[in-house]
Amino acid sequence: MKKIILQIAMVLLPLALIAQNEFEKFDVPSATVVNDIFVSGDGHVHLATDKGLLSFDGKNWATVTTKEGLPNNDIKDIAWFDNELYVSTAEKGLAKLEAGKGWKEVKIDAPSDFGFVNYMFPLGSTLLLGTDNGKVFDKSKTSEKLSERPYGPQGLGKITGMGMASSGVFNVVSDKGVLLVATNQNNFQIRIKSDNSPLTSDNVLFGFMDGDVAYDCTDKGITVADYAPPGIPPGISTVTEANSDMPSDQVNHISVDGNRWFVATDKGFAISTYTTNWEVFDKSKSNIDSDNVIKVDLANDKTVWFVTMGDKLVLHKYDKLQNASVDEVVQNQKELGIEYDLANDRVRFKLPAGNTTTDMSLSVLTIEGKSIVNFAATSVSAENTIDLNTTDLSAGTYIVHYSSGNGIEETAKLTIY
């Protein structure tokens, strides 16, 4: 018997998520490389560059270098930990911005083969440090001592992302594959392309977790893994040019806000809703400075910030997202009824009372947007319901889309384990 979880996610709004193809653009001063972008709670945009930490308040740039207390000007990553802004630099360096005191170097007692910190992940009272040579260390708030996790011998490359699901599964990504760690830290496995795993490529450029879902961005598409059930393996899907309208398989970076993805590729910037609707911005369609989008982040006020790298580095701002929030939609739209029959591997959809049976459709799609089951008006019972037999559906995440001639249009998320 399969376990079925269905959640009304949002009303599917029109394809055009963006009101107009216009971005505000700001040249990035002095730097030639941007390794990370982070928008802090005050709305300031921080860039980790090879010329120091560059911070933008919407009008002016400020540069923080060794003159202000950094151990090195080559900034690798930015993180918010213990209510303070942290940066990692080349040559083992860490620094933090202390309120009212300015920048201070964070001392660490690192082994000789430590390398440098390429990615930082706050986890409760611990800051996890992922190095350029495939190692992960725990650092507490108060001690200079580091505790190495037993992942180094597993063949990871430069750590490019980390995340933890509520189920306890820990996801570590690198440019040589992905490590999955169960709640028992000694129970882990590598999944890489050469092992015929679902991972689209060994070269994971960036990875993180949003809730229980991991997003691994590679040079050959995105691997999406749902870790809601405890243990591994998870339900896994892939998103590529071949099975979606994503503009390129090289995905440099991603930011996720509920149902929306903000995707940085080498062929433009894209916004997607559950990967079924894509809005792509490149130089032929917008005033974007370059098609090579390298970093993206979303501010608390839903402003999107991203960096392009062409002849120069340019920071882009977009603050005209027109979607209603997921919470608003779920609160106000509850037209589609759901009943579960777990014993018989069945889901029953109770259609809205105003359903126009002569002009309606209900489809089940993969997370990449490929339709696998379609119901028309002839499938509607006398009780105004449709039954879905889930026996032949593989474990994973699906999308259910309902539309009717009277204007009702809804989308639900279906997860089968």
Give the pLDDT confidence score for residue 77 in this predicted structure: 98
**Type of residue found at 416:** I
Neighbours of 44 (CB within 10 A): 15
Closest by CA position to 184, among listed 147, 142, 232: 232
Across 242-251, 336-345, 354-363, the highest mean pLDDT is recorded for 242-251
Nearest to 136 by CA among 107, 172, 165: 172
Convert the pLDDT of each residue in 138-177 to its tens digit.
999 989 999 998 876 677 899 999 998 877 788 899 999 8
More confident residue, 339 or 289: 289
Q: What is the pTM of this model?
A: 0.75
Q: Which two tokens stand for residue 15?
A: 């394809």
By CB atoms closer than 10 A (0-12, 13-18, 19+), residue 202 is: buried
What is the sign of the dihedral through the CA atoms of 370, 229, 179 and 39?
Answer: positive
Q: Which of 294, 297, 298, 238 is nearest to 266 (CA)?
A: 294
Q: Where are the beta strands (DSSP E) in 293-353?
A: 293-298, 304-309, 313-318, 337-341, 346-350
Output the six-digit token pair for 37: 């972008």
Per-residue pLDDT tens over the stretch 83-120: 999 999 998 789 999 988 999 999 999 998 899 999 99
pLDDT at residue 196 in the model: 66
Domains delineated in the chain: 19-324 (2.130.10.10), 328-416 (2.60.40.3080)
Name the token pair of 219: 């040079």
**Distance (Å, whole) CA 116 – CA 105:** 15
Nearest to 376 by CA among 390, 387, 362: 362
